[in-house]
């Protein structure tokens, strides 16, 4: 089935740190004062990965979108 979303918590970054200093394989964009969206900068034909990073806590959640 196509278009299935899955989410999972992934290991936290240190609180109040720059996500780009800890995630060297993804590109990202700031979505607000304390939230970044990081996306894979390489093509993966199996799924698209989007990781949201909450900077004050360092918490990350990954969203997998099946292709």
pLDDT in tens, 5-58: 899 999 999 999 999 998 877 889 999 999 999 987 666 666 788 899 999 999
C-alpha distance from residue 55 to each of 22, 23, 46, 66 (Å): 12, 13, 28, 27
- Residue 34 belongs to domain spanning: 5-66
Q: Which residues contact 16 (CB under 8 A, 6 or more apart)?
A: 55, 56, 58
What's the structural domain count of the chain?
Answer: 1
C-alpha distance from residue 36 to each of 15, 18, 39, 60 (Å): 13, 10, 10, 10
């Amino acid at each position: 089935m196509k278009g299935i979303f899955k989410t999972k918590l992934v290991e936290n970054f240190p609180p109040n740190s720059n996500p780009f200093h800890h995630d060297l394989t993804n590109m990202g964009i700031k979505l607000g004062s304390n939230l970044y969206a990081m996306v894979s900068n390489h093509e993966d034909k199996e799924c698209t990965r989007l990781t949201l990073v909450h900077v004050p806590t360092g918490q990350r959640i990954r969203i997998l979108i099946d292709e």
